[in-house]
A and B are shown apart, each in its own frame.
Chain A
């Protein structure tokens, strides 16, 4: 849907709009629309999936899971979760400000903070909430935020909710970013604090920005920095500590958010920073204060996943070796990709609607992948987004690449 059609739809009365959207959904479902494919756990390299309009679960090769280290079905993690349930039960029974905060939460927060060389952290139920948490806890309409144009929808929503004046920047144009900061400073009210956020590993293509230069610019202009490292934790850095470790910048950003639902293979998210900044979030940020604390099995799963990451750095080496291998093979097969350093490998097919048709056929032939289309990515930059796992075997990667190449060729896309 282009933006004109979107606006025209939004201007219809609610009941007309609802009827139109539901009719479109039913039609797409009948035509084999694939959003909402239903899996049958556990999440792993091979899984059973079924389409919405089918009752049959078929096994597919999975190249579309964010469980980059294969930890969501790891025997050690599962055992630690079972032990925790025996010891500590399940739900937290309340928000962290009331009864929902335990020693297990505290120990995990401190451990997560150390990953970025920070002093403290707060845990939240998901990445969306974590982004709402730092925006609404730190800033108000007297401050200014300058955000990465690739920022997640949750960051943008949070900015609107907080009412903080906002500017966008392109992380590939850091000189332009500095010019924006200079302009803001020349016009800002005295005392206005500038905040800025940037994605470490970019979710759309797996590339990493020149974070060192970004940090230097921010320090020069007294900007408080927040790194969104949702896709960086567990996928980059020698020990999987994320973008900061990878670029030798530990302790160099003011705050860092990441999720525990991707490479960590569990659920939840966290924001880490100095004692002062985290004090502010813990005591004044509504998304933290008014949400139940994470359940004990989740706390245990995250802690156990960190144990594995510390003990088995070879998982991260395997992930990188697999990523390089699939990148080489895709390029050798004539495909256009972006060579990132994380587990995300985008494969571009510029023709309008091509990735949707291709992905449907790949799924039918036994490969599960995801696609990104406009407006998630610019028009013409539609892509198949492959997510590689440390546990994928060479045979599985070969099978995936061969299937993509042969299917794309048959469809005239290669």
Chain B
């Protein structure tokens, strides 16, 4: 599963933008580079939780500044789930 592509797709759905792997980099900031504020990010987290069938604690959603930060949180959760399974 390409978590990075899912993150971009979820942002595009909520923000009605058209970011692709060719137009952004993983170190792009959610706010300054992509225009996503913390309130909108909660919606994007919700969308990602549905798509990837994971649950992320609210405390893990805080202070995530870049695309890579979001990918890391999701990947860690998916890995944990794989290990438990």
Contacts and interface: CB of A to CB of B under 8 A. Distances in A.
Interface of A: 2-4, 6-8, 10, 144, 146, 149, 156, 160, 165-168, 170, 180, 184, 374-375, 378-380
B70 to A, nearest CB: 14
Given A168-B65, A378-B62, A380-B59, A3 B42 contact: yes
B61 A3 contact: yes
Interface size class, chain B: 10 to 19
Contacts of B49: 4
B13 interface: no
Contacts of A184: 32
Contacts, number: 45
B46 A168 contact: no
Contacts of A374: 58
A156 B37 contact: yes
A4 B48 CA distance: 11
A195 to B, nearest CB: 12
A3 B32 contact: no
A165 B42 contact: no
B58 A167 contact: no
The secondary-structure label for the interface of chain A is: mixed
Given A168-B31, A379-B58, A3 B46 contact: yes
B29 interface: yes
A228 to B, nearest CB: 17
Contact of B31 (A3, A8, A166, A378): A166
Given A3-B45, A7-B46, A156-B37, A379 B32 contact: no
Interface in B47-81: 49, 57-59, 61-63, 65
B59 A4 contact: no
Interface hub of A6, A7, A10, A375 (most chain B Cβ within 10 A)? A7
A156 B35 CA distance: 13
Nearest to B43: A7
Interface in B17-55: 29, 31-33, 35, 37-38, 42-43, 45-46, 49
Interface hub of A3, A167, A168, A180 (most chain B Cβ within 10 A)? A3
A347 B31 CA distance: 32
